[in-house]
Structure 1
Amino acid sequence: MITTIDLRGTTHSGGELSQLMPRARVDVSASAEAASGLIDDVRQRGSAALLDQAERLDGVRPDSIRVPDAVIRRAVEHLAPAVREALDEAIRRVRAVSSAQLPVPISTGLSDGGMVQQRWRPIRRVGLYVPGGKAVYPSSVVMNVVPAQVAGVASLALASPPQKDFGGSVHPTILAAAGLLGIDEVYAMGGAGAIGAFAWGVPDLGLEPVDLVTGPGNVWVAAAKRIVRGQVGIDAEAGPTEILVIADESADPVLVAADLVSQAEHDELAAAVLVTDSAAFAERTRAELGLLAESAHHGTRVRTALDGQQSAIVIVDDIAAAAGFSNAYGPEHLELQVRDPDALLAMIDNAGAIFVGEHSPVSLGDYLAGSNHVLPTGGQARFSSGLGVATFLRPQQVIRYEREGLREVAGHIHALANAEDLPAHAAAVSARFRAEPNGDTA
């Protein structure tokens, strides 16, 4: 069962801590060559390559790569009422939180006749990837589509792997979620081939290239995103899910163990990490993990994840040290279950999403909190953020200067242009004052 890392009585630099981190060995670059081959195949052979890849990798050859509108409508009609109600509420909450993220244009006046405006423009067309391997993720449809719609993206295409159990079509629950959101461009294609199809388009399928690809996926999807970056934008190279819980002896070990197991059931490479300043609490949680793993529906998967090198119970001297460890780790999901969570929150810098208090489990964020569950993994929270409206917007600066505003800085432009040996830059300014006696304005 889960490894213990005891850091009490020791101090470590950031570099030393990074060597101690429990991490899954997921080498995206090792999959790059195979992913590149799949992408090149799609670029050369179009839909024929996608069909062959589906047959080889997903075990089924779709009758149609693009899902017909009638199939999407039928999926909505047959969606279980309880699931539809839950999806409707998730859509409402994520839309409310996403709407609050919309930036407003800001104009900065620098002088009479000198103005710079900051505005945000939506990306024209986006390809949304929804995985379909070990589980079905209609919630990921919501998390990808809603902020894009709020941002004003005009064209959205969705891809998800073909399902053998459904005749090669996309899983009906994913189709239903897409239908509820008004998405009618859905493709039964998965893995690296799907990412390549988004990036370069598939003319014989009528699939136009996108400008941005978002959504989680396996290592092949992550490798494909790395390959197409530059041709299109990407959100992140998402890896296996992670949860890090900081807890002290005031926490409930049953709840902490339940939350660790909830993420461990995603994948054998899922990371479940507890950081605590109480050795006694660590042992109580370990015991609960053993009980829950034995009774879990996906018990084998959970035990493999907990036993893996990416999962651990870390014992530290105090809560400040726990915060330092967490900041070095940069978790996708961070839970704070301590006596004074606000004091701890003030010490946290790096996390994809932070869940405060025992009634804010990661499961809430996965579905109904209103926050987005597409988050940076593998320590990327140190320099990137989760999916949101900003993902689908490009900031632009609009410069408006009148004659007198330009005249005010013309001499400075001349000085800098001459210092950089770029006289044509200075001449472009002087040309605007050529009718004046001293046309060079310097």
Structure 2
Amino acid sequence: MRRFTFDNPGFETAFAAFLDERRGSPPDVDAAVAEIIARVKADGLPAVLDYARRFDKADLTEATIKVTADEIAAGAEACEPKVREAIAFAAARIRRYHERQRPADARFIDEDGVELGWRWTALESVGVYVPGGRAAYPSTVLMNAVPAQVAGVERIAMVTPPGRMAPAVLAAAQEAGVTEIWRIGGAHACAALAYGAGPIRPVDKIVGPGNAYVTAAKRRLYGVVGIDALAGPSEIVVVADAANDPEWIAADLLSQAEHDPDAQSILITPDADFAQAVAEAVERQLAVLATGEDAAASWAAHGAVIIAPLSASAALVDRIAPEHVEFAVEDPEALAAPVRHAGAIFLGRLTPEAIGDYVAGSNHVLPTSRAARFSSGLSIYDFLKRSSIVRCDAASFAKLAPHTVALAEAEGLPAHARSAAIRMKP
């Protein structure tokens, strides 16, 4: 864990170097991924099944690659009742939040008499990638599939590596309106979603997190399909004053550190004694945390404490541009108001980031690696397209056509000019 003091003469140099560090640079897998994609594109299902055998030791066939409706129902039924209840509760809140994001179509007539507007339509199909193993989270299913369902996407195809699927994941898929589930993961799953493979039909967009191979595949497949983003390690900044319980703040920092040794947790506080109390609380909690190994590695390599006045916190947050930021202070609204670059902002001492991960309703798929400077979290807009609408009558066409001809001729595009000129009255 690094420690910075805002009024230290060397702060700026040290902090800038800290921001420039790359956390968990992924291995260079692009060449391998390119080969996988090319083979799936050329050979389809046989290539997908071969990669499943090679990478996942799964002997799948065209008949067994799809999870049946009965398997989904049985798995969901096996989910622990309190977890099923929590999944339904979370899904309902996520659904209501994203319903409020729904944009409206519009039509209007401007000052020249041209009718203009736009209309929104949903994507026809979406692929949701859900990692396997420890990262097979039901919340991943809900946060990616529910907004697609709300947007009106008709086909939501989920892919997840072969093996026993957690009942909670199947319950979440059922709750979120997933229409089909395929037992494949990795780059070959992304390629199958993009190009189609046997019974797996192509989709229009791929969303969801994955390992370096999945991320590289999404990057390469962009343009064939849409993608949500290229996810990096989790991160949190907690802005806290000394009125907080150090144990609470330590728990918040570790809530992200436990995700991954490359995750990042940063505390900004004006009180050095409080910072020390939080650091000690972190060590106590690490000693009993089931995920303590990853969390300890994250805190040691990428954790930071910044001693700085609260008045400087917004500017520091903007420079970090974190995935999550908490303002656990007396007046969180005032401190958070200037912040421009953050994936999600949590206000007040009773709003830990974990609430947003699961049941607040806001989406937990958020920009990482300082991408909050130019992008936003997943929303209903990721599953909608906007088409412009233009309509001229004789009077409005007469006003626009001469300027159209002039600009087309200036650009050396005579067919463009003629398309307007041919309609102009002598």
TM-score by length of 2: 0.93
The 1:29/1:404 distance shift into structure 2, 3 A limit, reads: farther
User: 2:46, 2:167 → 1: CA distance?
Assistant: 24
Aligned partner of 1:425 in structure 2 is 416
**Are the structure 2 counterparts of residues 199 and 226 from structure 1 closer, same or farther at C-alpha, using a change threshold of 3 Å?**
same
Letter in 2 for 1:323: A
Q: Secondary structure at the match of 1:295?
A: coil
Match of 2:319 in 1: 328
1:329-344 equivalence runs, <5 A: 329-344=320-335
CA distance in 1, matches of 2:377, 2:39: 31
Counterpart residue number, 1:304: 297
2: CA distance, partners of 1:16 / 1:44: 50
Give 3-state SS (helix, strand or coil) of 1:432's partner: coil
* Contact 2:126–2:205 (8 Å) recurs in 1: yes
Deviation at 1:377, TM superposition (A): 0.9
Q: How many residues align?
A: 424
Provide Cα deviations, 1:191-221, integer angstroms capped at 9, x if missing partner: 222111111111x2x1111111011122222
Letter in 1 for 2:193: F
What's the TM-score, normalizing by structure 1?
A: 0.90
Contact 1:66 1:187 in 2 (8 A): yes
Structure-2 change in CA distance of 1:207 and 1:283 (3 Å): same
Question: 2:155 touches 2:178 (CA, 8 Å); kept in 1?
Answer: no
Query: Which of 368, 384, 393 is the aligned partner of 1:377?
Result: 368
Moved more, 260-269 or 38-47: 38-47
Gaps of 5+ in 1: none
Counterpart position of 1:7: 6
Structure 2 counterparts to residues 327-406 of structure 1, below 5 A:
327-406=318-397
Offset of residue 184 of structure 1: 3.4
Pairing 1:188–2:183 present = yes
Segments of 5+ residues of structure 2 without an aligned counterpart are: none
Q: 2:143 corresponds to which residue?
A: 143
> How many Å apart are 1:425 and its aligned residue?
2.5
- Tell me which amino acid in the other structure corresponds to 2:3: T
User: How many Å apart are 1:17 and its aligned residue?
Assistant: 5.1
**Distance verdict in 2 for CA 1:250–1:160, change over 3 Å:** same
Deviation, 1:80, is: 1.5
SS in 1 for 2:136: coil
Distance 2:321 2:111 in 1: 43
8 Å CA contact 1:127, 1:212 repeated in 2:
yes
C-alpha displacement at 1:253, in angstroms? 1.6
- Matching residue's letter, 1:116: L
Select between 113-122 and 366-375 the one with higher mean Cα deviation.
113-122
Structure 1 residues 33 and 8, CA gap change in structure 2 (3 angstroms): farther
Q: Secondary structure at the match of 1:21?
A: helix
Q: 2:173 aligns with which of 155, 174, 178?
A: 178
8 A Cα contact 2:3 2:305, kept in partner: yes
Q: Distance in 1 between matches of 2:132 and 2:16?
A: 32
- Counterpart Cα distance in 2 of 1:90 and 1:134: 20
Per-residue CA deviations over 1:143-169 (Å, capped at 9, x if unaligned) read 111110111111110011122xx2xxx
Are residues 1:38 and 2:39 paired? no
What does residue range 227-376 of structure 1 map to in structure 2 within 5 Å? 227-308=220-301, 310-316=302-308, 318-376=309-367
Alignment check: 8 A CA contact 1:28 1:220 kept: no
Give identity over the alignment, percent: 40
Give the 5 Å matches for 1:114-125: 114-125=114-125
CA–CA separation in structure 1 for the residues paired with 2:57 and 2:260: 20
Contact 1:244–1:273 (Cα < 8 Å) also in 2: yes
- The worse-fitting range, judged by mean Cα deviation, of 393-402 and 17-26 is 17-26
**Corresponding position of 2:159:** 159
Distance 1:267 1:55 in 2: 27
Match of 2:134 in 1: 134
Instruction: Label 1:23 to 1:336 Cα distance change in 2 as closer, same or farther (>3 A).
Output: farther
In structure 2, distance between residues paired with 1:246 and 1:353: 13
AA paired with 1:178? A
- Select between 70-79 and 178-187 the one with higher mean Cα deviation: 178-187
